Amino acid sequence: MSSKLRKLKASEAAAHLLETFSGKSIIRRQLVDANQLEKLVFTLNRPSLVVQGTPVPPGYHLVYFTPDGTEAELGADGSDTTFNASAPFTRRMWAGGKMTWESDVLLRVGDEVEETTELLSATPKKSRSAGEMVLVEVEKKFRGPKGLALTDRRSWVFRPEIDPDTVKEAHNKSLVEDVVRGPSFIRDLDAKSQGHPIRELCWSPVGLFRFSALTFNGHMIHYNQDWAQNVEGHPGEVVHGPLNLINILDYWRDTHGSGQGPRDIVYRALSPLYAGQTYNIRTSATRDTSDRKAYDVSVERDGTVCMKSEITA
Which pLDDT does position 294 carry in this prediction?
97
CA atoms within 13 A of residue 301's CA, in its CB half-sphere = 20
User: What is the value of pTM for the model shown?
Assistant: 0.92
Q: Percent of the chain beyond pLDDT 90?
A: 78
With a cut of 60, say whether residue 270 has pLDDT above it. yes
Mean pLDDT of 62-73: 95
Mean pLDDT of 242-246: 99
pLDDT tens, 179-200? Answer: 788 999 999 999 888 899 999 9
Mean pLDDT of 233-252: 97
pLDDT tens, 202-241? Answer: 999 999 999 999 999 999 999 999 999 999 889 999 999 9
Mean pLDDT of 74-87: 90
With a cut of 90, say whether residue 166 has pLDDT above it. no
Which pLDDT does position 128 carry in this prediction?
80
Strand order of the β-sheet with 147-159 is 26-31, 112-127, 131-144, 147-159, 91-101, 264-269, 304-312, 293-301, 278-288, 196-202, 185-193
Mean pLDDT of 274-296: 95
Q: Map out the domains of the chain with their CATH numbers.
A: 1-161 (3.10.129.10), 162-313 (3.10.129.10)
Which pLDDT does position 198 carry in this prediction?
98
pLDDT tens, 258-268? Answer: 889 999 999 99
With a cut of 60, say whether residue 13 has pLDDT above it. yes
Which carries the bigger pLDDT value, residue 161 or residue 306? 306
Whether residue 272 is preceded by a cis peptide bond, meaning omega within 30 degrees of 0, is: no
Which pLDDT does position 168 carry in this prediction?
58
State the chain's mean pLDDT as an integer: 92
Per-residue confidence at 244, pLDDT binned at 50, 70, 90? very high
Mean pLDDT of 140-147: 98
Mean pLDDT of 86-108: 93
Which pLDDT does position 91 carry in this prediction?
87
Q: Percent of the chain beyond pLDDT 70?
A: 93
Which pLDDT does position 174 carry in this prediction?
56
Which pLDDT does position 3 carry in this prediction?
43
Which pLDDT does position 4 carry in this prediction?
45
Per-residue confidence at 160, pLDDT binned at 50, 70, 90? confident
Which pLDDT does position 164 carry in this prediction?
63
Which pLDDT does position 161 carry in this prediction?
80
With a cut of 70, say whether residue 19 has pLDDT above it. yes
